[in-house]
Chain A
Amino acid sequence: MADRSFEVARLPGFRSIALTAFVLLYLPIITLVVYSFNAGQSVAVWEGFSLDWYTTAWENEAVKGATYRSLLIAASASAIATTVATMAALGTTRRKAFKGQTFIYVMINQPLMVPEIVTAVALLIFFASIKVATGYNGLIYLIIAHAAFCIPFAYLPIRARLEGMDLTLETAAADLYASHWQAFRFVTLPLMLPGIIAGAMLAFVISLDDVVITEFVKSGGQDTLPTYMLGQMRRAITPEVNAISTVLLALTVLLLTAFFLLTRKKD
Chain B
Amino acid sequence: MTTMPIAVEARNAVKAFGQGAVAVKALDDVSVQIRQGEFFTLLGPSGCGKTTLLRLIAGFETPTSGQILLGGEDITHLPPNKRPVNTVFQSYALFPHLTVAQNIGFGLEMQNRPRAEIKETVARMLALVQLEPMASRKTSQLSGGQQQRVALARALAPTPKVLLLDEPLSALDLKLRKEMQIELKRLQMETGITFVFVTHDQEEALTMSDRIAVMSAGHIQQTGSPRDIYTRPANRFVASFIGETNFLTGKSDGRQVVLHNGAAVDLVTKQGAVSLAIRPEQLRLVATGSAGAMPARVASTVYFGTDTHVHLSLSDGSQIVARQQIPATGAMDLKTGDEVGVILPADALQVLED
Q: Determine whether the beta carbon of B81 is less than 8 Å from that of A179.
A: yes
* CB-CB under 8 A for A169 and B158, given A176-B86, A177-B110, A177-B111: no
**Residue B219 is within 8 A (CB to CB) of chain A in the complex:** no
Beta-carbon contact of B87 and A182 below 8 Å: no
**Does A248 make an interface contact (CB < 8 A)?**
no
Complex contacts, B158 vs chain A, CB 8 Å: 176-177
Interchain CA distance A126-B106 in the complex, whole Å: 50
Question: Are A175 and B96 neighbours in the complex by a CB distance under 8 Å?
Answer: no
* CB contact under 8 A between A190 and B97, given known A176-B154, A177-B111: yes
Q: Which of B101-158 contact A (CB under 8 A)?
A: 106-107, 109-111, 154-155, 158
B237 at the interface (CB under 8 A from A): no
Q: Mark A186-204, 1 if CB is under 8 A from B, else 0.
A: 1100110000000000000
Whether the pair A175, B91 counts as a contact (CB closer than 8 A) is no
Interface flag for B304 (CB, 8 Å)? no
Q: Which partner residue on chain B sits nearest A182 by CB separation?
A: B110
Chain A contacts of B79 at CB under 8 A? Answer: 174
Q: Which of A6-26 contact B (CB under 8 A)?
A: none
Interface check B303, CB cutoff 8 A:
no
A168 with B106: CB separation less than 8 A: no
| Set B87, B94, B97: member contacting A175, Cβ < 8 A | B87
Give the residues in chain B near A182, CB-CB below 8 Å. 110
Q: Is the CB of B81 within 8 A of A172?
A: no
Quick check: B58 and A175 within 8 Å, CB to CB? yes
Known contacts A182-B110, A187-B95; A174 and B81 CB within 8 A of each other: yes
How far is it, in angstroms, between the C-alpha of A179 and the C-alpha of B95 when the chains are bound? 16
Set of chain A residues within 8 Å of B106, measured between Cβ atoms: 173, 176, 178, 186
CA of A186 to CA of B91 in the docked complex: distance in angstroms? 20
Give the contacts of B31-67 with A (CB-CB under 8 A): 58-60
Instruction: Point out which of A168, A175, A177, A182 has the most chain B C-beta atoms below 10 A from its C-beta.
Output: A175
B91 & A171 in contact (Cβ 8 Å cutoff): no
A182 to B110 Cα, complex, angstroms: 8
How many chain A residues touch B (CB < 8 A): the figure is 17
Task: Say whether, besides A168-B89, A182-B110, A175 and B95 are in contact (CB < 8 Å).
Answer: no
In the complex, what residues of A have CB within 8 A of residue B94's CB? 172
**CB distance B80 to A169 under 8 Å?**
no
Query: B96 to chain A: which residues have CB within 8 Å?
Result: 191
Give A182 to B95 CA distance when docked, in angstroms.
Answer: 14
Known: A168-B93, A172-B89, A172-B95. A177 touches B60 (CB 8 A): no
Residues A175 and B80 in contact, CB atoms below 8 Å apart? yes
Q: Which residues of A contact B85 (CB under 8 A)?
A: 175
Query: Which of A166, A171, A191 is within 8 Å of B60, CB to CB?
Result: A171
List residues 158-185 of chain A with CB under 8 A from any CB of chain B: 166, 168-169, 171-179, 182
| Other-chain contact of A174, B80, B154, B155 (Cβ < 8 Å) | B80
Roughly how many angstroms separate A196 CA and B109 CA in the complex, as a whole number? 25
Q: What residues of chain A lie closer than 8 Å to B109, measured between beta carbons?
A: 186
Min CB–CB distance A191 → chain B (angstroms): 6
Q: How far is the CB of B315 from chain A (nearest CB, A)?
A: 56
CB distance from B209 to the nearest CB of A (A): 23
In the complex, A178 Cα to B93 Cα: how many Å?
15
A186 to B93, CA, bound (A): 14
**Residue from A168, A177, A191 in contact with B97 in the complex, judged by beta carbons closer than 8 Å:** A191
- Identify the closest chain A residue to B97 (Cβ): A190
Shortest beta-carbon distance from B28 to chain A in Å: 23
Contact partner of B93 among A166, A179, A190, A191, CB < 8 A? Answer: A166
With a cutoff of 8 Å between Cβ atoms, the chain A residues found around residue B110 in the complex are 173, 176-179, 182, 186
> How many Å from the CB of A180 to the closest CB on chain B?
8
Q: How many Å from the CB of A144 to the closest CB on chain B?
A: 34
Nearest CB on A from B64, distance (A): 18
B residues less than 8 Å from A173 (CB atoms): 95, 106, 110
Query: Given known contacts A176-B106, A186-B106, what 7 new A-B pairs fall within 8 Å (CB)?
Result: A166-B93, A171-B80, A172-B95, A173-B95, A173-B110, A176-B155, A186-B109
What are the 4 tightest A-B residue pairs by CB atom distance, in nearest-first order? A176-B107, A172-B93, A168-B93, A177-B110
Q: List 11 A-B contacts (CB under 8 A).
A: A169-B93, A171-B60, A171-B89, A172-B89, A172-B93, A173-B106, A173-B110, A176-B81, A176-B110, A176-B155, A177-B107
